[in-house]
């Protein structure tokens, strides 16, 4: 059976905080760190909105969550490397708070829920740090800007602020079974939401109605947080890569580009589908759709552990070039076009990014200063390890702001047939995005959302 395929069964266990703590500690020790050190992390604080007594939306700090699985604000943790002891500190009972919010989770309940050795209240953080544990008087590992003013590390000989953050960022790239199960569950819920949008599209009069269908489908499955702002773009709005206005009237546009994904227990899904709003592609939109689908399928088929992501991104460009040459939008020699980077005008972003607790997850080693336009926005550089999860999201866009400078540059415009291009502006953009688990020798696609032409047309038409 594939990794964490039965996600409900896997999620009956606990989030593997201890396994993650050990992984992070090993990275620190491998870098020459202190075997007797202590890791210290803080949860995000619950804040109020400015000039208002309502709570601001809360997003747990990912570094803290990775070593605790705890979603509570204002909490703390320590992990003593030598004794393998993970201690969580949760907020104590504050009588004034209980009036409004009910009783908080008790240390006993927290100990039962999370994969930890001990749970105390946050009143005990400083005494605990000062106590004569085996780790005292050694090194404390923390994240510089994530240590509250009232926290004291007085009993530690060394305070180390440069290793913990990269240790967690590196560790997060390869996922445990539990993390894969969470991403899988988020994908299943988001898939239902995508399908519901396809079914509702033909009757919609405005993009915002379709955004509402997506959000409702997630919230009613208890996935209350989105991993990112949904992109619900009809027609030419699809050419804006991160369009978030989502409020244009739907009239005669042909395609809808929907890039949306919910979060489950801090883990993201990130899915894009593009489909004809009334169920009928135009000749032009279908031709572009088929090129993007081909780019995506061939790239997914080429993936396995150890593959160089940069080369898969190049493969996507080569398929795009062939497709655009066949349509006559591009003209000339495929290799010369590839070398001139002309396809970047139509596919300006990277092929994908790691996915996990963040939509654009840690550890990608992007180089946003790369002088090569083909790689500047590639969020992952280098080889992909087994158990990483990466999005594969090729696209072709007809964005005047991006393409027009190419038309004005003689070295680029010689490869573009402006007359043929004229027919394609109304396509807007096509992107297809799945979440792919890398394994030894291949992949597993975690995104079950329909994408074949006949499937999506049927869903839209049957409503
Ligand atoms: N939804 C943002 C992205 O695909 O990267
Ligand atoms: Mn993405
Ligand atoms: Mn996306």
Instruction: pLDDT tens for the chain, 463 residues: list them.
Output: 789 899 999 999 999 999 999 999 999 999 999 999 999 999 999 999 999 999 999 999 999 999 999 999 999 999 999 999 999 999 998 888 888 888 899 999 999 999 999 999 999 999 999 986 666 679 999 999 999 999 999 989 999 999 999 999 999 999 999 999 999 999 999 999 999 999 999 999 999 999 999 999 999 999 999 999 999 999 999 999 999 999 999 999 999 999 999 999 999 999 999 999 999 999 999 999 999 999 999 999 999 999 999 999 999 999 999 999 999 999 999 999 999 999 999 999 999 999 999 999 999 999 999 999 999 999 999 999 999 999 999 999 999 999 999 999 999 999 999 999 999 999 999 999 999 999 999 999 999 999 999 999 999 999 9
CA of 378 to the centre of ligand 2 (A): 11
Beta bridge partners of 39: 79, 141
Q: Both ends of the chain: CA-CA distance in Å?
A: 34
pTM: 0.97
pLDDT at 251: 97
Pocket test for ligand 1, best of 258, 272, 379 (most atoms within 8 A of CB): 272
Protein residue closest via CA to atom 4 of ligand 1: 270
Q: Which two tokens stand for residue 296?
A: 């995506």
Question: For ligand 1, what atom is nearest to the CA of residue 227?
Answer: 1
CB-defined site of ligand 1, < 6 Å: 228, 259, 270, 359, 393, 433
In the prediction, which pLDDT does 135 show? 62
Length of the chain in terms of residues written: 463
CA gap 308, 326 in Å, rounded = 28
Residue 247 belongs to what H/E stretch? none
Best residue for ligand 1 mutational test, from 241, 349, 364, 391 (most atoms within 8 Å of Cβ): 391
Q: What is the pLDDT of residue 131?
A: 85
The single residue listed with the structure tokens 């989105």 is 226
> Are residues 55 and 65 in contact, defined by beta-carbon separation less than 8 angstroms?
no
pLDDT for 136: 64
- Please calculate the CA angle 243-247-253 and round it to the nearest 5 degrees: 80
Q: How far is the CA of 292 from the centre of ligand 2 (A)?
A: 15
Output the CA angle 449-9-268, nearest 5 degrees: 45
Residue 74 Cα to ligand 1 middle (Å): 30
Q: Say if CB 384 and CB 438 are below 8 A apart.
A: yes
Lookup: tokens for 214: 């997506």
CA of 260 to the centre of ligand 3 (A): 6
Tokens of 11: 């999620």
**Measured between alpha carbons, how far is 11 from 188 in angstroms, rounded to an integer?**
14
* Lookup: tokens for 441: 């020798």
Q: Which residues contact 11 (CB under 8 A, 6 or more apart)?
A: 178, 181, 182, 185
Long-range contact list for 88-95, CB < 8 A, 24+ apart? Answer: 88/114, 88/116, 88/118, 88/119, 88/120, 89/119, 89/120, 89/121, 89/122, 89/124, 89/125, 89/128, 90/119, 90/120, 90/121, 90/122, 91/121, 91/122, 92/121, 92/122, 92/123
- Rounded CA gap, 257 and 240, in Å? 10
Q: 128 CA distance to ligand 3 centroid (A)?
A: 43
Q: Which atom of ligand 1 is nearest to the CA of 272?
A: 4
**CA distances (Å), origin 189, targets 60, 192, 394, 447, 450:** 21, 5, 23, 10, 13
> What is the pLDDT at residue 4?
87
- Distance between Cα 233 and ligand 2 center (Å): 15
Whose C-alpha lies nearest to ligand 1, atom 3? 270
């Amino acid at each position: 059976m594939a990794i964490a395929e039965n996600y409900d069964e896997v999620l009956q266990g606990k989030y593997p905080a201890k396994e993650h703590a050990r992984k992070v500690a090993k990275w620190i020790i491998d870098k020459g760190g202190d075997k007797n050190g202590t890791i210290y992390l803080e949860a995000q604080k619950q804040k109020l909105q400015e000039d208002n007594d309502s709570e601001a939306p809360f997003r747990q700090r990912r570094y803290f969550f990775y070593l605790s699985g705890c979603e509570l604000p204002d909490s703390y943790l320590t992990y003593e490397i030598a004794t393998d002891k993970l201690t969580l500190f949760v907020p104590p009972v504050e009588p004034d708070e209980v009036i409004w919010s009910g009783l908080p989770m008790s240390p006993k309940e927290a100990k039962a829920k999370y994969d930890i050795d001990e749970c105390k209240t946050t009143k005990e953080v400083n005494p605990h740090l000062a106590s004569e544990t085996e780790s005292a008087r050694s090194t404390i590992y923390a994240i510089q800007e994530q240590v509250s003013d009232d926290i004291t590390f007085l009993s530690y000989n060394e305070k180390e602020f440069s290793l913990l953050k990269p240790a967690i960022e590196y560790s997060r790239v390869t996922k445990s079974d539990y993390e894969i199960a969470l991403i899988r569950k988020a994908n299943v819920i988001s898939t239902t939401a995508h399908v519901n949008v396809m079914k509702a599209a033909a009757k919609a009069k405005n993009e915002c109605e379709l955004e509402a269908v997506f959000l409702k489908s997630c919230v009613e499955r208890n996935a209350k947080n989105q991993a990112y702002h949904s992109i619900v773009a009809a027609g030419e709005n699809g050419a804006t890569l991160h369009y978030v206005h989502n409020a244009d009237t739907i009239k005669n546009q042909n395609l809808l580009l929907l890039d949306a994904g919910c979060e489950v227990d801090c883990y993201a899904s990130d899915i894009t589908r593009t489909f004809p709003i009334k169920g009928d592609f135009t000749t032009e939109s279908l031709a572009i759709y088929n090129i993007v689908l081909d780019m995506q399928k061939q790239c997914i088929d080429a993936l396995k552990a150890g593959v160089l992501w940069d080369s898969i991104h190049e493969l996507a460009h080569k398929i795009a070039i062939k497709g655009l040459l066949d349509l006559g939008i591009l003209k000339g020699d495929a290799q010369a076009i590839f070398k001139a980077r002309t396809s970047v005008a139509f596919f300006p972003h990277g092929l994908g990014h790691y996915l996990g607790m963040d939509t654009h997850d840690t550890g990608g080693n992007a180089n946003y200063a790369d002088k090569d336009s083909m790689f500047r926005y590639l969020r992952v550089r280098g080889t992909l390890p087994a158990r990483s999860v990466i999005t594969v999201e090729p696209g072709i866009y007809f964005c005047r702001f991006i393409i027009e400078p190419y038309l004005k540059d003689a070295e680029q415009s010689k490869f573009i047939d402006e007359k043929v291009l004229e027919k394609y502006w109304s396509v807007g953009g096509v992107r297809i995005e799945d979440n792919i688990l890398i394994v030894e020798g291949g992949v597993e696609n975690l995104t079950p959302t329909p994408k074949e032409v006949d499937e999506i047309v049927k869903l839209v038409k049957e409503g």
